[in-house]
Structure 1
């Protein structure tokens, strides 16, 4: 690791257990790596940077060749692999050199105030939105797409009628749990929305109207406010690279539709939240 970071090198199973026990409710981030592993070397500078950025967390590094028993006990089969612990219980796991997924997990479980995610176990996916693969159709030239993707109070507005077709791409596959789509003026806010995912090309309005969607939602006035959250059928959104929202109409039959903000909540696909698993026996943190 880089000189001056806060990463603690672990040399034994006993040392690992001691660090986790003494940490209590402090988040412990453990990187399982190997000297011969190329991806481990590529993510090492990022891991060092994260240790300096999140000073309230404890960062450990385990060489799987030096600590073979520990690596086997933790089920480490590929490297790099990151496990997060609180009160000696594993709460999350991130596989491969997934820097964005690792930081998202740290933010979520470290209790950072800046995450602004109201959904337990999920994070605001703003950092994963890829504007280069995003596209809004029937958009007024005066209201660029980023108005809806950046929380600055501005809005996007449809052009010639009330319909909008908004495709948002992600920089990596994500699992979507819920979304917020709102307008400061409720009368102009979306009402009927058809949702599509992973479309192979740009959709047009005819195909959006005609094609079968993953889910269709009908938003009530209280569901298009800044603080409202619309739950999705989570099982259908486990591998999402892009999401397309076809807004068919608005709340009050206005000539145009406006969207002040569009937020998505979920997790990167390669980030496993261990709290999502239901235990069938034993105590939390107990090995089987």
Structure 2
């Protein structure tokens, strides 16, 4: 694996498309910038350390951009190899969890685009918060006061959602689930029972064991900012509902073009790093 030098917009877009759900790190550099040249030598060594990521270089400035699914997820400016690797490791680990399965048609696990500090479920437990269920290795979500619960998920940008995944114990996993989108605030249980949902699901125990994607009516989930799930009951009928992993499959609406980037600061010949 090597760093690929980008030559033009078409080349840039083709590399973004080919990477799919992999982490992409782009070095916007400049030949006249001394610190840029110094970190460039170290940057060239990173593909060997992170073979599941894609590393690109654009001769502009010392600016690093991180992408997934053609969408910018982070950035870092300056010639700091330790800071760069810290960000790579953060997003690299996440991308390994989220891109291990090929969903086709440009679809991927949308975990990166979930604004986790804005997510909740009613009567959330301090020991088993919702973030546990948003990672395949992060623990689980449990609610033991009532089989019903409402889960609110907020995305950091508009997304399209084609499927949803629930992984849970077959006896205590969700059975009937009502889905609402783009609500101005978290709905309550009365609203969840009485309002018209976008789609209702009936999950089988096999669905919960396999954690396979459950298709949604894709045309109804084209501009989703938030999603609220009303778990109406579970398979056991008792007061404990457990979700090991909850995932949303789809794609972000925003795309990235090289025209979106400006020179970071200064003119050619001026130091900025």
Provide TM-score, normalisation by structure 2.
0.62
Match of 1:285 in 2: none
Post-superposition shift, 1:52?
Answer: 5.7
Cα deviation digits, residues 210-230 of structure 1 (max 9, x gap): 111110011111111243211
Identify which of 122, 129, 135 aligns with 2:120: 135
Contact 1:101-1:268 within 8 A present in 2 as well: no
Q: Say whether residues 1:264 and 2:248 are aligned partners.
A: yes
Match of 2:175 in 1: 191
Match of 1:147 in 2: 132
Q: Distance in 2 between matches of 1:260 and 1:113?
A: 15
Alpha-carbon distance change, 61 to 152 in structure 1, aligned in 2, over 3 angstroms: closer
Secondary structure of 2:206's aligned partner: helix
Alpha-carbon distance change, 51 to 134 in structure 1, aligned in 2, over 3 angstroms: farther
Match of 1:10 in 2: 7
Identify which of 160, 165, 174 aligns with 1:180: 165
Alpha-carbon distance change, 214 to 51 in structure 1, aligned in 2, over 3 angstroms: farther
Which ranges in structure 1 are unaligned for 5 or more consecutive residues? 34-48, 64-92, 273-288
Secondary structure of 2:236's aligned partner: coil
Match of 1:115 in 2: 99
Q: Distance in 2 between matches of 1:99 and 1:244?
A: 25
Alpha-carbon distance change, 155 to 50 in structure 1, aligned in 2, over 3 angstroms: farther
Contact 1:27-1:57 within 8 A present in 2 as well: yes
Post-superposition shift, 1:58?
Answer: 7.7
Alpha-carbon distance change, 50 to 174 in structure 1, aligned in 2, over 3 angstroms: farther
Q: Say whether residues 1:100 and 2:73 are aligned partners.
A: yes
Cα deviation digits, residues 246-286 of structure 1 (max 9, x gap): 000001212221111101111111149xxxxxxxxxxxxxx
Alpha-carbon distance change, 252 to 258 in structure 1, aligned in 2, over 3 angstroms: same
User: How large is the Cα RMSD of the aligned pairs?
Assistant: 4.2
Secondary structure of 2:185's aligned partner: coil
Secondary structure of 2:115's aligned partner: strand
Post-superposition shift, 1:202?
Answer: 1.6
Provide TM-score, normalisation by structure 1.
0.59
Q: Distance in 1 between matches of 2:154 and 2:109?
A: 15
Match of 1:37 in 2: none
Q: Distance in 2 between matches of 1:245 and 1:252?
A: 19
Q: Distance in 2 between matches of 1:234 and 1:51?
A: 42
Match of 1:209 in 2: 193
Q: Distance in 1 between matches of 2:97 and 2:243?
A: 26
Which ranges in structure 2 are unaligned for 5 or more consecutive residues? 29-42, 61-68, 76-90, 257-273
Q: Distance in 2 between matches of 1:158 and 1:180?
A: 19
Identify which of 142, 147, 164 aligns with 1:157: 142
